[in-house]
Structures are given as structure tokens and as C-alpha cells.
Structure 1
Amino acid sequence: MPALVVTTAPLVRSEAAARLAARPQRIVPAAELPPVEPTAFVEIAREDAQSFNATVPFATGPNPAARPFRFGGGPDDLARATDCLAAGVLYEAGDDAVGERAVAQVVLNRLHHPAFPKTVCGVVFQGQERSTGCQFTFTCDGALRRQPSEGGWRRAREIAAAALAGSVYKPVGYATHYHTDWVVPYWSSSLDKITNVGTHLFFRWTGWWGTPPAFNRRPSPSEPVVSKIAYLSTAHGAAPDDAVPLAPESTDDTAIMDSMIAAGATAPEGRFLDQEITPDRDSFLITLPANIAPQLWPALADKTCGKRSYCKVLGWTDAARTPARLPLNTAQIAGMSFSYLRDRAVGVERQLWNCREHKRPVPAQCMKVQAFIPAGELLIDQAAPARGPQGLGGVRRRSADPAIGAPSPILKIDEGKRPVTPPETSPAATP
């Protein structure tokens, strides 16, 4: 009877483990890039960590294998990528060939995901400049001071080379995170636990960011030199003049944009991000994503328009100022950050930036935010410099005299109609 009581006793978890179990899971929406948090662990005893990790269920549903990856850079870049990946699998998995293959797959999954750096070395050594909180702990905890055996390093390079040539470790699917079962990272409760390999637990992001379409980034073929492993790798020895420096935490804006657009393409009614579709179905009012660079806004607008022959996209960087419908009032026009117009019937494709917010190399790319004053013959020109006491700042009088300067054409936006641009006049200087 005592033995029966002991073997069937309920699991007793510490207070810390109970608090962890109560943490809600957050699914990052497709319109928001998931954050890559530095690896930090909950202060909890090893036994409590194992108890807590055992209570977290594995995610249900399919766990598809990742697509094969084949490195596209030159021989020198391939050598650097191979040795970075070899260092990662060796120091993370130790003397375990199966674990090394699993780690290699996670690195390549990250390489294809827009939330992470776009090179193999960038992924492995992300956060390596920190004393704590790097993505792979061996890069910042002093583990690299330990010299691996010749045989261990050779096997790690063979596994890395195979992974870069298309070998896929299927059990971990599209996992982007993992940890041993005796620790609890702060991020673990927010991800889907999909499998275990030995004592390591593997996770992927919840929602759309953990599905195969999210892993659509094209990696860079130019690998950086990492001086930390120069003693292991001749490829990371003295940097050549054209070597690419390691850029920690770098990501690819184009891949982020493509991922978000791919996500929006499956949303109801063709909505993309904070997009409003006007009744004519050819005009889009959008909030421009903060993590997409302004120079990529034309590509964003082009993909938002899709195959439409005629389309206009108007964008604001502040979601609170993004209008819900057309026509726009003066304040909404003044707060606009970007505009795009496509009319293939007449061969027009025009993009303009608010250059007070985002400088452009060519003045013709800058929009003029203007509005007519109903009373009188005055035209507000917010791009005009302020004048002294003898004049009104930002206000100039309309004139038909070319020597003084004709007013700039105004793009009149009306619901359900194409913009009407006044006939072009001969070039004239604008005061």
C-alpha cells in the first residue's frame, strides 16, 4: 500500500511553475512581425522546469517537413556558411549527430523566415555582441573557448554541408526555437511545442507565422566573416577586403513585405494590413507598416493593387490618421505619407512621398500637399517656405501669369471616380 501511494502521488509543482502554466499564449497577427526576443530563462529549479515542461501539451495538427535548402553563394561564402553552421550544431548539440541535424534544421528554418537575419552566420551569431541574451548561448557564454575534437569538428562540418546541400531533418518541421527540458525560456509559453529530440523540445510560432507560407525569404548569398571562430575555420581567418561584415539582428525588409502581403492575400475581401477598400474597389487606404522601409512602399502598393489596370493606393504611417473612406479632407491629405497611382490605359505609374517625413533623392518624387481656399483666390501650399511680416507664411496668390508661376496641378480624389488632372501648362518657376 505505501508503494502504491508513492507511485500514484499527484505531481507537485513549485509556485514558479504554476505561474508559468497560467501565462496566456499570444498569437501574433499576420500583419505584425513576431519579435525575436533574447534568450532569457526563468529562475526555476531543474526539477521544477522538467515538471512544468512535461505539462505543456504538444500542438495538434500537421507538422510538415521543411523544404530543402541549397546554398546559392560562391565557394568562399559556402565555406563561411558551412563553418558557422558547424559551430552552431556542435556547440548546441554536443556529441549527438541526431541533435546536430535538428539544430541545423532550425538554423535553416530561421534563415527562410523574415524575422531573422538573412545569412547563415547572421542567424547563428545573432546577438553574439551581448554578454547574455544571444540567440544561441554558445556565442556569448564563453563556450567557444573550448576546443572541439578533430573528429567532432569534422562530423559537424559534414552535417552542416549536407544541410546546405538540401538534406532535411523532417521531425522538427518548421521549428524556429528549441530548448532543453531542464530550463524554461520566457518565450516558451507563447509558442507551439511540436516535437522533442532527446531532451530538447522544439517550437514554432503560433498562427500564420508558423506555417510554411511564412518561410518565403530568399537568403543572402554573401556570408560575413566571424572572427570568433577564426581559430576553427580558415574561412573566417583574416578578412579579405571585400568581406561582408556581420550585421547582428539584421533582417530583410523585402522578405518582411512579401510575407505580410502573402498573409493579407488570404484575408477576407482581399484586405491587406489596416487597409480600407473604397466602394470603387480600385482605391486603397492603408497604414504603412513601420518595419517596411519607405523605399519599398512602391512595391507594396504594386502588390496591393494586384492585376488591376487602374489603381490608387494612399498610405499613412500613423494608424490613427488613416482615413476610413474617401473623399479626403484637408487634414487627411496633409498627413498622407505616400501615394501611388497606376493607370495602364494611359501608361501612368506614379509614386510620391511626403518628403517632410521621408527625404527623397529626386525632388520630383515629393508630393505637394495643397488645398484650395474656397473664399478668394488663395492657394495653401504647405511646401512653401514661411515668409516674413510682409507676407502670409505658406500662402501664395494664384496667377495666370507664367512669369509668376501657375499653381501646381491638384490630384482631386473623388469616391468612385478616376483622378482628374488639369491640362499641363508650360514649365514655370514656382516662388
Structure 2
Amino acid sequence: MQAPLGTGSRALDAGLVALALAAVLVPAWLVEHAPPLPPHSDPRQPRATAPQRVLTPAELPPVEPIALRDLPADDARAFNATIPFVGGPNPAARPFRFSGSAEDRARASDCLAAAVLYEAGDDPAGQQAVAQVVLNRVRHPAFPKTVCGVVFQGSERSTGCQFTFTCDGALTRWYSEPFWTRARKVADAALSGSVYKPVGWATHYHTDWVVPYWSSSLDKLAAVHTHLFFRWTGWWGTPPAFRFAATGSEPRVTQLAAHFDAHKLPEVLAAEQQALAMQKAMALPESAIRASADDPNAFLIHVDAKDAATFPLLAARACGARPYCKFMGWTDRDDLPASARGALSAPQLASMSFSYLRDRPRNLERTLWNCTEFERPRSQCMRRAPQPIATARPALSAEAGPAVLEGVRRKPASRPTAAASPTPAAS
């Protein structure tokens, strides 16, 4: 029997309505009554990576650039807490003894101080722990053999640095001097053999609010405040692996050159020192460099040994355009002659610190230094004449009679006349 007109249309409409309601209600019911997800199914939590294969002593472990999982800080802390600390011994590192020149030592101290300050802030324990990791790396075959080389490894690449402050722009935010003073004390102590025992032979660390991809594959050793410390698994994390010595020849680091002289190129440092000397020389008042009252072409000046670089500039300023001029300086004010007239005494010549002579008619210009006071090239040193050595002579009296020598009667020697002592040349 044929259905009445319109019945099929109403049935079709009802079916469509039912499907629409099911599309809304069924997912809502599933969300409400579904069982909870297992912990590792939480998309915000990273899965712990399986430990890497333990390398043999013949296989050098790779040094990977920093790569972090994209996690909020709280989730990172929760994940880091699930990684257990390794059991067994955690021997302290051997004392580190820096061997190198004073300039190399200054560079190493600058680099290590920057690492502990920018990585651990003004936290003494954290700074000591960071310094220990840096020096551990210096002695490990997988890393550079200099302190600056370790700290600034990969800093030329934005994604390849080992210490984030070297490539993320942090060095543009400079700490004030008291912070640097405290950081340098930690650095100098570590370079002189101080050991921070809790982190042992750790070569890696990170703050607890980030998760590097390597954190699950290394042995977790210690926690120092907000930093977690790790070593390589197997033989490469044991004391015998740290068998290399630092070269002692530290490179200059351009990122530190703006603040530390030891990292400046020699020509840049010389130009800066010359500019500073010029500034000091020009700042000295005229009353301090007046010509001698009895000779307008002679200057007898008290100079400061700390400002040795200014001496030639002071002489040039004092002499001005004079065709003939003498400029002599003494760092000891008590040795300063009262007058430029007459010859200087032997003690005055011997104690003179600096001299400048200009004689343009003779085409002569000479700058000399007292090289017992200042280290200068031999050609710039004043000539020092030898002083006579006094020898004891037995006293003769009128009652003693004639002197006797090896059985031969001789007349007493007449007293020698005083001769002028040789004096050093000042110019």
C-alpha cells in the first residue's frame, strides 16, 4: 500500500534530526565517562629516552649542542624529578693547577669568571659547581684544552654553543664590578687547585626548569640549588678518562675584549693606553710642568711611576716648540734637584727615572728610561756607569813606624788625592 503523500518526507526529516543529536551527545558522553589517560600519554610530558649505548674507551663520546624540549617550566621540573640519581661512588675531581704565562692566566680567569657569573648568578655554591664542570671538561679528551676554549666552544653559532650565555646575547647585559670581583675569586681559587667535591667529575649540567635531550642518557650525579649535574656513562665518566692537561695557552675572546685588557689585540690595547696617557698628560696643570727658574729650556719634574706611559707626552707638552729642550723626571721627590744650573750629582743622576733631550740644530732627539725602574728595550735605557768599590785600608799612625811588607822596608804610601767618581749618562 502506498504511503500517504508527505509521510516519507517526515520520516527522512526525523532521521536527520536523530543523527545530528547523536553527533553531539555521543562525543560528550565519551569525554565524560572515558577512563583517565596513563601518565606517559600526557602530550605535555616527554617520554624518557632510553640510555644510549655505553661507549668503549676507544670511542670518543660526541659533544652535542644544546637542544631543549619544548616544555613549560613546571612540566620540566616534574620530568627532571623522575630521573633518579645514579648510585655508586662519586669521587671528587683532582685539583686543577693552571700552567701558563701571567697573560694566559688572566684570560683563563676572565673566561671562568664569566662562566660562573652568567651561568650561576651571584650564588657561591653554584659558581663553584660550574667552575668545576668547566675545569673537568678542560681535562677530558672530548673538549678543548683551554679554559676559554671550553667556555666559548661553539659560541660562533647561535645553536652550537655549550654555555648558553655565550650565544644568546647575555653578554650585552654587563654585571657591575662587585659581582665580577666575587666571581673572579671563585675562578682564581679553582684555577689554583680548589675542588668542589659534590659534583665529582661532572661534565654536563642544566637548570631544573629545562629538559635537554641528553639528560636521560647520562648519569645524574648531584643537585646544587636549581642546577642538576651529570657525567657520561661508562668509562668516559670515570677519573682515568680525564687524563689531558690544559695547554696553558689561552686564546683571546672577542666577546670579552670590550671589558678585559687581556683579550684585546696588542695594537688595540696600545692605542687605548696611548689615548689614556695623552688624556692624563693633558690634564696635568701647567704649574706641575713649569720650566726651571734658572733655565727656561730645562724641566726638572716629579713624575708618578704609575703613569710611566705619560712621560714622553709630558715632555712633548712641556717642551712645546722649543728647538732645544731638556726634560728630566724623578719618581722620588726627595731626589729632585733644586736647580738646572750646573752638573747633577751622581746620586741625582743614578735616581733619575726619565729623560728627554731635544736639540734640533744638531738633529738630535732622545728619550731614555731608568731601566732599573721600568722595563724598556735596551736601546731606550740610560747608561749606568759602574760605581767604585770602596776597599778597607789599614790606618797608619805616626807612632807605627815604617810599614813592612814581606820583609822589605818601605816608606808609607802617600794618601791618594780624591778623584771624581764616574757618573751615569742621563742622555
> Normalising by the residue count of structure 2, what TM-score does the alignment of the two structures yield?
0.52
DSSP 3-state at the match of 1:190: coil
Match of 1:138 among 147, 157, 165: 165
List structure 1 segments (4+ residues) > 2 angstroms apart after TM superposition: 10-20, 22-26
Q: 1:141 to 1:198 in 2, by over 3 A?
A: same
**1:327-379 deviations in whole A, cap 9, x for unaligned?**
xxxxxxxxxxxxxxxxxxxxxxxxxxxxxxxxxxxxxxxxxxxxxxxxxxxxx
Which consecutive residues of structure 2, in runs of 5 or more, have no partner in the other structure? 1-36, 270-427
Cα distance, 1:240 vs. partner?
3.3
DSSP 3-state at the match of 1:193: strand
Cα distance, 1:81 vs. partner?
0.4
What aligned pairs does 1:52-71 form with structure 2 within 5 A after superposition?
Answer: 52-71=79-98
Q: 1:150 to 1:14 in 2, by over 3 A?
A: farther
DSSP 3-state at the match of 2:194: coil
DSSP 3-state at the match of 1:129: coil
Alignment partner, residue 101 of structure 1: 128
1:112 aligns with 2:139: yes
Which consecutive residues of structure 1, in runs of 5 or more, have no partner in the other structure? 1-9, 244-431
1:228 aligns with 2:276: no
Contact 1:17 1:52 in 2 (8 A): no
The one-letter amino acid paired with 1:168 is V
Q: 1:150 to 1:87 in 2, by over 3 A?
A: same
Please report the RMSD computed on the Cα atoms of aligned residues, expressed in angstroms: 2.1
Alignment partner, residue 246 of structure 2: 219
Q: Give the Cα–Cα distance (whole angstroms) in 1 for the partners of residues 70 and 153 of structure 2.
A: 23
What aligned pairs does 1:10-49 form with structure 2 within 5 A after superposition?
Answer: 15=42, 19-49=46-76
Contact 1:16 1:44 in 2 (8 A): no
Q: Give the Cα–Cα distance (whole angstroms) in 2 for the partners of residues 168 and 11 of structure 1.
A: 44
Cα distance, 1:11 vs. partner?
10
Cα distance, 1:23 vs. partner?
2.8
Match of 2:265 among 231, 239, 247: 239
Q: Give the Cα–Cα distance (whole angstroms) in 2 for the partners of residues 111 and 178 of structure 1.
A: 15
Q: Give the Cα–Cα distance (whole angstroms) in 1 for the partners of residues 49 and 258 of structure 2.
A: 46
DSSP 3-state at the match of 1:221: coil
1:77 aligns with 2:99: no
Q: 1:51 to 1:151 in 2, by over 3 A?
A: same
Contact 2:49 2:216 in 1 (8 A): no
What aligned pairs does 1:253-402 form with structure 2 within 5 A after superposition?
Answer: none
Cα distance, 1:132 vs. partner?
2.2
The one-letter amino acid paired with 2:222 is T
Q: 1:184 to 1:217 in 2, by over 3 A?
A: same
The one-letter amino acid paired with 1:225 is R
Contact 1:132 1:141 in 2 (8 A): no
Alignment partner, residue 237 of structure 2: 210
The one-letter amino acid paired with 1:32 is E
Alignment partner, residue 193 of structure 1: 220
Q: 1:22 to 1:177 in 2, by over 3 A?
A: closer
Q: 1:19 to 1:117 in 2, by over 3 A?
A: same
DSSP 3-state at the match of 2:212: coil
Contact 2:133 2:202 in 1 (8 A): yes
Q: Give the Cα–Cα distance (whole angstroms) in 2 for the partners of residues 18 and 141 of structure 1.
A: 26
Q: 1:17 to 1:187 in 2, by over 3 A?
A: farther
The one-letter amino acid paired with 1:107 is V
Q: 1:121 to 1:13 in 2, by over 3 A?
A: same
Contact 1:14 1:48 in 2 (8 A): no
Alignment partner, residue 12 of structure 2: none
Task: Report how many residues are paired.
Answer: 233
The one-letter amino acid paired with 1:148 is Y
Match of 1:124 among 151, 156, 160: 151
Q: Give the Cα–Cα distance (whole angstroms) in 2 for the partners of residues 230 and 202 of structure 1.
A: 30
Q: Give the Cα–Cα distance (whole angstroms) in 2 for the partners of residues 186 and 16 of structure 1.
A: 16
Cα distance, 1:149 vs. partner?
1.4
Contact 2:46 2:79 in 1 (8 A): no
Percent identity at matched positions? 67
Contact 1:50 1:183 in 2 (8 A): yes
Cα distance, 1:24 vs. partner?
3.4
DSSP 3-state at the match of 2:47: helix
**1:112-139 deviations in whole A, cap 9, x for unaligned?**
0000000000000000001123100000
Contact 1:40 1:133 in 2 (8 A): no
Cα distance, 1:37 vs. partner?
0.1
Q: 1:53 to 1:232 in 2, by over 3 A?
A: same
DSSP 3-state at the match of 1:196: strand
Q: Give the Cα–Cα distance (whole angstroms) in 1 for the partners of residues 238 and 261 of structure 2.
A: 37
Cα distance, 1:15 vs. partner?
3.5
**1:167-219 deviations in whole A, cap 9, x for unaligned?**
00000000000001110001111100000000100000000000000000011
Larger Rg: 2
DSSP 3-state at the match of 2:138: helix
Q: 1:16 to 1:163 in 2, by over 3 A?
A: farther
What aligned pairs does 1:406-417 form with structure 2 within 5 A after superposition?
Answer: none
